[in-house]
Amino acid sequence: MSRFAELLDCFFYRPDEEVGPFLELAPEVEGVPESVVAEVPEEFLAFELAGETYAVPIAVVREIQKVGDVTEVPRAAPNVIGLINVRGEMLPLYDVKVRLELAGQPPVVRTKKDVGRGARVVLLRDPEGDAGILVDRVQGVVKLALSRLESAPNLGLERDAVAGIGRKDGRLFILLDLEQALS
């Protein structure tokens, strides 16, 4: 057996593998080991962007707001719609559709009249500075099992901003990679 094969043998599970002295104390698995993963599904906020359903982990969502006044920021990056005032905090509002190639140009939004009735600002926590994204409609919270998430299929599109795909009850949820989506 090559050195690496030995290492791999260590990596994969065998019910009869060696157990260190420390684990003598740990509880034993009853019966025949079966690879059944019991897990608590993670909660995601699902929302609509140009007819598709996207989702972000609920843990990163600070709050959801109606669209209010948006201050234009001259000479900012093209995906910055503007600046919004969240109880005294000045946060950037981003458009993610351009990044996702769902739209050619970011919308010009100055007041709530510039957006559809369902449109909302989803405020996200981010270590680089919290930020809002403009979504067409908020759908609600969906629970997705992490172990069932798939990597994004390669469709020959610029999809860096997609972290993965989740499915539930026949619906498709595209998970946003926020770091990429806001860059």
* Residues of this chain that bind another protein (CB under 8 A): 3-4, 7-8, 10-23, 25-29, 33, 35, 37-40, 56-57, 59-60, 62, 68-69, 71-76, 80, 83-85, 88-92, 124-131, 146-151, 164, 178-179, 182
Cβ within 8 Å of residue 25, ≥6 positions away = none
| Shortest spacing between CB 137 and another protein, in angstroms | 21
Any idea what the Cα angle at residue 88 is, between residues 118 and 75, rounded to 5°?
75
Which of residues 119 and 133 has its CB atom nearest to another protein in the complex? 133
**Which segments within 87-170 are labelled E, that is strand?**
89-94, 120-124, 131-135, 137-144, 162-168
Which of residues 26 and 155 has its CB atom nearest to another protein in the complex? 26
CB distance 94 to 133 below 8 Å? yes
CB distance 60 to 126 below 8 Å? yes
| Shortest spacing between CB 118 and another protein, in angstroms | 23
| Shortest spacing between CB 166 and another protein, in angstroms | 9
Tell me the Ramachandran region of residue 182: left when phi exceeds 0, alpha when psi lies from -120 to 50, beta otherwise. Answer: alpha
| Shortest spacing between CB 51 and another protein, in angstroms | 24
Which of residues 103 and 165 has its CB atom nearest to another protein in the complex? 165
Which of residues 37 and 51 has its CB atom nearest to another protein in the complex? 37
